[in-house]
């Protein structure tokens, strides 16, 4: 099957829908698939990014493929191009993620790749979005594997077994989550420079990964200064050690937005140092979640190099039918950083 080509429309817009955290488990709630259908129907995306923690609990690649194709049938029946990144929990159930990546690559209209074999992680890749006026890239979609947990670094880096990453006064929610590692950042940085040399200009782009970067906390802790929009109802799971990725993006000056999954109870977007960062809450029903946050994130790219984003809650599209249990509202507190105008 011929690989789809992404291209801006004549009006200069390209739309991405990001959905994350299916947590499909051994059996998924059918509302996951219905919600995906409604989001696609409502937003009419040009590309769908699935942002990690698919958690497809199956024993063989064949079983994974059958199960996953059933869930993403709303994508497949429309012949929509799509991609994935892996989450921390994808490494804890079902088949190995390297095998799972091969399954994705066997499904129609998938544009992701395993990525260079000498890099940490699985699924480090770049997809160009071509100009509406020619065949040169006008935008790049970068995907990075944020790996699993900081405790994995002990074996990976040969550290002492009693190494403590999380100290009493810590940045994250005490979860010790992973991040893209230095070789992955080098891959982006060098690739960005090569593209600039090839095309005579920097190509704007956005990035996708599962776990938020430490710098995302600047938006959460400074909502007014960063123009934060959305809800925060839990601590944020990020690394305690800055990966350097945010600084690399600033130095290159081409990444306009970085988008995360992982946070089931956060759908905040904001801007720090000129880079938009946002979570898309979660779409699944088989884990912690709030009925009024469950949904997906629209990311509109404009050919002149700008980005706009907003969250689409399922309850806006489905009403009470979007709730896990229509007789009981799962949400509780309603702490909004800032409401959309």
What's the domain count of the chain?
1
Interatomic CA distance for residues 311 and 290, integer angstroms: 14
**Residue 158 counted as domain residue:** no
Which residues of the chain carry a pLDDT beneath 70? 1, 332-341
Interatomic CA distance for residues 269 and 279, integer angstroms: 7
Whole-number pLDDT of residue 1: 62
**Residue 154 counted as domain residue:** no
Query: 158 — alpha (psi -120 to 50), left (phi > 0) or beta?
Result: left
How far CA 39 is from CA of 111, 147, 200, 238, 267, in Å, comes to: 20, 28, 38, 27, 16
Whole-number pLDDT of residue 336: 57
DSSP string spanning 197-227? HHHTSPPPEEEEESSPPTTHHHHHH-TTTTT
**Residue 42 counted as domain residue:** yes
**Residue 325 counted as domain residue:** yes
**Residue 72 counted as domain residue:** yes
**Residue 160 counted as domain residue:** no
**Residue 83 counted as domain residue:** yes
Judge whether 73 and 108 are in contact, CB under 8 Å: no
Judge whether 207 and 257 are in contact, CB under 8 Å: yes
Q: Residue 50: which CATH number? A: 3.60.21.10
**Residue 153 counted as domain residue:** no
Domain boundaries, position 130: 6-147+177-338
Provide the 10 A C-beta neighbour count for residue 318.
Answer: 19
Interatomic CA distance for residues 6 and 11, integer angstroms: 15
């Amino acid at each position: 099957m011929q690989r789809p080509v992404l291209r801006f429309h004549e009006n200069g817009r390209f739309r991405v829908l990001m959905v994350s955290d299916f947590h499909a488990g051994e059996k998924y709630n059918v509302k996951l698939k219905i919600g995906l259908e409604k989001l696609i129907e409502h937003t009419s995306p040009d590309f769908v990014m699935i942002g990690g923690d698919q958690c497809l609990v199956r024993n063989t690649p064949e079983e994974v493929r059958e199960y996953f194709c059933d869930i993403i049938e709303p994508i497949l029946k429309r012949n929509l191009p799509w991609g994935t990144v892996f989450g921390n929990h994808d490494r804890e159930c079902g088949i190995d993620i390297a095998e799972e990546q091969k399954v994705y690559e066997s499904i129609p209209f998938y544009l992701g790749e395993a990525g260079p074999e000498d890099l940490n992680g699985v699924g480090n890749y770049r997809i160009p979005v071509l100009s509406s006026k020619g065949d040169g890239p006008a935008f790049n979609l970068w995907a990075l594997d944020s790996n699993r947990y900081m405790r994995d670094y002990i074996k990976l880096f040969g550290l002492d077994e009693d190494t403590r990453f999380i100290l009493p006064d810590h940045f994250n929610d005490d979860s010790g989550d992973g991040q893209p590692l230095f070789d992955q950042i080098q891959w982006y940085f060098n690739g960005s420079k090569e593209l600039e040399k090839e095309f005579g200009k920097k190509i704007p782009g956005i990035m996708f990964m599962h776990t938020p970067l430490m710098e995302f906390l600047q938006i959460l802790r400074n909502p007014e200064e960063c123009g934060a929009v959305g809800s925060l109802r839990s601590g944020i799971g990020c690394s305690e050690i800055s990966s350097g990725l945010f600084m690399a993006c600033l130095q290159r000056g081409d990444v306009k937005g970085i988008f995360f999954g992982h946070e089931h109870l956060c759908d905040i977007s904001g801007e720090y140092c000129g880079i938009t960062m946002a979570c898309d809450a979660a779409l699944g029903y088989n884990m912690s979640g709030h009925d009024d946050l469950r949904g997906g994130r629209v990311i509109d790219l404009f050919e002149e190099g700008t980005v706009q984003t907003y969250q689409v809650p399922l309850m806006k599209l489905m009403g009470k039918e979007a709730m896990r249990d229509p007789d009981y509202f799962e949400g509780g507190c309603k702490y909004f950083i800032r409401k959309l105008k």
